[in-house]
Amino acid sequence: MRPKQLINLALKQSRSDLRTFEWRALLLALLLATTLATFLTLLGNQLENGLSRQSASVLGADLTLSDSKPVSQDDIATADALKLQHTKVVQFSSMLSTEEQILLSSIRAVEAPYPLRGELRTDPPQSTPIPRPGTAWAEQQLLQRMGVEVGTTISLGYSSFKITAAIISSPDRGNGFRSFSPQLLINRQDLEATRVVQPGSRIGYRTLFSGTEPQIREYAAQLSEDLTPQQRLWSVYADQPMAAGALTNASSFLRMTSLFGLLLCGLLITLSLRRYSSAQYRRSALLKCLGLKPKQVLHLYLIKLIFGWSLAAILGSLISIILLQLTGSLLQTILPAGLPAPDYRLSAVGPLLSLALLLVIGFSPLLQISRIPVMGLLRRDQLSHQGLSWPARLTILLLTGVVIAFYLGSAINALVAILLTVGTILVAGVFASLFLPPAGRFLARYSRLGRLLGFRIRQQRQWHRIQLGIMSLLLALLSSLLLSQTELVNRWREQIPQDTPNQFVINIQPWELEPLSEFLQQAGLSPNLYPMIRGRITLINDQLPADVLTPEQLQHNSLRRELNLSWAAQAPKHNQVIAGKWWPTDTPDNLISVEQELAESLGLKLGDTVGFEIAGQKLSATVSNIRQVEWRSFRPNFYLIFSPKAMEQYPQTYITSFKLSGEQAELSRELLKQFPALTLIDVSQWIDQASELITRLIQASTLILGLTLCAGLLLVQLLLYQELEQRRHENALLQVLGSTPGQTRRLDLLEFALLGFTSGAMAAVLAEIVTGLISYRLLNLPLILHPSIWVLLPLTGCAVFTLGTLISRRRSGYQQLRQT
């Protein structure tokens, strides 16, 4: 037979096979596997790119080097060699003045091109990327506070600038307190003429870089080697403010969902292939009888599988792209920079994964089809299914593991998944052999065909073991997904609780404490006020950090910049002391409370001494306790908190935060009117964005759960179909022998209800274990039991099985026998 004829035959058979349940199930399994893997890969890539771009638009670049002096020519030469785009920014605080008003502002002097990432939006929109010489763009807050409008001329040092636009949004606002002040953007050419930058002035120099990820990573690595204590690197690939926690959780959930979905699809492919290959034995024997060689039979079925896979690959890719468009429109609005298109080359991942799964799982059944003896046409017993040897099964399992590990990029996750699968089926086997016979005897009392039920349980125990194992795993996986999704939602909701502050007030002077507290209390707000001062860690246990820490520890940011320090008589309410004790209110000692992550990074233990340089003075304090801090709480948090006595001689300012609702907007204006020296930072927009991001991600993950559910339901249908096929003939015989249809139906219902209940009960145990692992390993949540599933899962198992049994009973006994 010529290859073309073989392909034609394969095509013809594939088309007609669409009428068969097993071929449809196999195609659906491939379609689901392809769709799941493609969709998750593209969505993951899109989110990652989107969040990187989001970070980039916050930074205005892919990489930012900040320093207290201008960037060196060597660093610029290296960037040029790596073909990175770069631009320089000078930022400093200075007083702006009009005839009526003066205001301490943060001035950004920039040069084109600017910014390198993100968008600088102005009102009215401007034709140039940066202000023309002699002009300036001011933030809305600055215009409001100075009581001026666009078109006004303001003075900065010895120069005057006409404000030609209001800044609506701007990347690269800098970091630290300069970023909190209202900002003015000027052209760098004008800087010298202002004469505000003099030797000794406190100036921040930033150099922004952009390029491809490998270029940026390489350059960042080179810069990191020689960073001075004053220098700081910000990279979109290392620093993802705000969304980092949500992204980590979302990625964990996506990975977990994809793992479960793929496992289900793997099971589906295995079972549908098994059924399909069994159904093909007679056909294969006939083709061989007509003269087709075994190799040609193998080729024929390989071509058919490739046809099926191609169909699934095309449809799956299309569906995943449509799903991506849906999620894209959901997620588009949440990131100011918008969601970038994913790398569509990754669409190949899903089809390749399903092809790998198909070949790994499918090759053995195909080999069996091609080896079926022609004798089977004369003697039916020759067409019976030949079980795989254990080495072959283990090889398939191992190869499936390798495929999944390759896709997930984690051998451990794949290993856990496979161990879980095999373990579940083994445990289910043991459980079935222990539980089913006595349960069957008990139920037999309620049916005239009770003896037959016992006989069935004995006769089908091998099949029951497999079926119970798979059903238990399926129900457990689906309920784990639902449970963990709920927990994830809760976790995200917890991340941004209802009372999350959206306003920060800084630069509060000690004499303003009392009137400010009074003002806030009158407005119904009672926030805590935290003292704050900046200082640098200089010694650890009286030695230089370089002498006692490893090179990795020395890279920690806390050693390379000034830290915001605070002091308190009592532990902050939203911090938890996890080691040591909080100090007595009136302790005369110099004590510090260290944040947990910092303590771990620097190896600080209780009783260690840490030396500081604060406002040019040396200070030493003993570690008294270690705190756990929820950084994502949007409250003022500190790495280091001192006992009050230690800090009493230092000048103090205070910081506080509180939540203002939309209707209380007037309050912030009133606050600034009464306390003009304060700096008020409105972060409500950031929180709204984060909140929306979380909600949208949950909606997107529901789509993934939907796909996984489809795979699960298909698997249930496949299992029931297979089992009921066997039952039909037996029931037909019983009816011919005198049983009523009602009796055989009751027998089926009893058997399947028992199987459903047992699967559900085992699934409940498994679901607790799986969700426990997810909570503990992936989400860092405390372990909790879910009593509802102990009732719901056995009932669901019963309901699914009995409903399936009722739906599948269509033919009468005589029809069935005649067909057989």
Q: Which residues bind other proteins (CB under 8 A)?
A: 1-2, 5, 9, 12-13, 15-17, 19, 282-283, 286-295, 373-375, 377-379
How far is Cα 561 from Cα 227, in angstroms, rounded to an integer? 11
DSSP string, 322-357: HHHHHHHHHHGGGSTT-PPPP-GGGGGHHHHHHHHH
Q: Amino acid identity, residue 434?
A: L
Q: Which is nearer to other proteins, 217 or 283 (CB)?
A: 283
Q: Which is nearer to other proteins, 5 or 189 (CB)?
A: 5
Q: By C-alpha distance, which of 424, 468, 488, 485 is closest to 702?
A: 485
Q: Which is nearer to other proteins, 15 or 581 (CB)?
A: 15
Q: C-beta of 376: minimal distance to other proteins in Å?
A: 9
Q: Which is nearer to other proteins, 287 or 516 (CB)?
A: 287
Sign of CA dihedral 520, 525, 528, 530: negative
Q: C-beta of 811: minimal distance to other proteins in Å?
A: 16
Q: C-beta of 14: minimal distance to other proteins in Å?
A: 9
Q: C-beta of 465: minimal distance to other proteins in Å?
A: 29
Q: By C-alpha distance, which of 720, 773, 711 is closest to 263?
A: 711
Q: C-beta of 1: minimal distance to other proteins in Å?
A: 5
Q: Which is nearer to other proteins, 19 or 445 (CB)?
A: 19
How far is Cα 273 from Cα 356, in angstroms, rounded to an integer? 14
Q: Which is nearer to other proteins, 367 or 408 (CB)?
A: 367
How far is Cα 491 from Cα 804, in angstroms, rounded to an integer? 36
Q: Which is nearer to other proteins, 95 or 378 (CB)?
A: 378
How far is Cα 373 from Cα 652, in angstroms, rounded to an integer? 91
Phi-psi region of 780 (alpha: psi -120 to 50; beta: other; left: phi over 0): left
- Evaluate whether 740 touches 730 at the Cβ level (below 8 Å): no
Looking at 523-606, list the stretches that DSSP marks H as alpha helix, in order from N- to C-terminal side: 545-548, 551-554, 596-602
Q: Which is nearer to other proteins, 149 or 725 (CB)?
A: 725
Sign of CA dihedral 637, 642, 647, 650: negative
Q: C-beta of 308: minimal distance to other proteins in Å?
A: 15
Give residue for tokens 């290859």: 3
What Rg, from alpha-carbon coordinates, does the chain have? 35
User: Strands 159-169 and 153-156, how do they pair?
Assistant: antiparallel
Q: C-beta of 768: minimal distance to other proteins in Å?
A: 47
Give residue for tokens 């929180």: 687
How far is Cα 236 from Cα 417, in angstroms, rounded to an integer? 33
Q: Which is nearer to other proteins, 378 or 544 (CB)?
A: 378
Q: Which is nearer to other proteins, 373 or 429 (CB)?
A: 373
Q: C-beta of 13: minimal distance to other proteins in Å?
A: 6
Crossing angle for the helix pair 461-495 and 787-808, to the nearest 10 degrees: 130
Q: C-beta of 379: minimal distance to other proteins in Å?
A: 6
Q: How far is CA 364 from CA 27, 217, 353, 734, in A?
A: 18, 45, 18, 37
Q: Which is nearer to other proteins, 99 or 381 (CB)?
A: 381
Q: C-beta of 812: minimal distance to other proteins in Å?
A: 20
Phi-psi region of 544 (alpha: psi -120 to 50; beta: other; left: phi over 0): beta
Cβ neighbours of residue 759 closer than 8 Å, sequence gap 6 or more: 428, 467, 468, 471, 472, 475, 797, 801
Q: Which is nearer to other proteins, 295 or 445 (CB)?
A: 295
Q: Which is nearer to other proteins, 289 or 569 (CB)?
A: 289
Q: Which is nearer to other proteins, 295 or 810 (CB)?
A: 295
Please give the backbone phi and psi of residue 681, each rounded to the nearest 5 degrees, phi first.
Answer: -115, 120
Q: C-beta of 279: minimal distance to other proteins in Å?
A: 11
Q: C-beta of 5: minimal distance to other proteins in Å?
A: 4
Sign of CA dihedral 653, 58, 182, 674: negative
501 HSE (CA, 13 A, CB side): 22
144 burial level (CB within 10 Å; 0-12, 13-18, 19+): middle
Give bridge partners of residue 155 from the DSSP assignment.
97, 160
Q: Which is nearer to other proteins, 498 or 820 (CB)?
A: 820
Q: How far is CA 162 from CA 98, 166, 203, 626, in A?
A: 11, 11, 23, 52
Q: C-beta of 278: minimal distance to other proteins in Å?
A: 16
- Evaluate whether 298 touches 288 at the Cβ level (below 8 Å): no
Q: C-beta of 368: minimal distance to other proteins in Å?
A: 15
How far is Cα 364 from Cα 41, in angstroms, rounded to an integer? 29
Q: C-beta of 361: minimal distance to other proteins in Å?
A: 24
Q: By C-alpha distance, which of 316, 309, 312, 317 is closest to 347?
A: 317
Q: Which is nearer to other proteins, 384 or 685 (CB)?
A: 384
Q: C-beta of 295: minimal distance to other proteins in Å?
A: 7
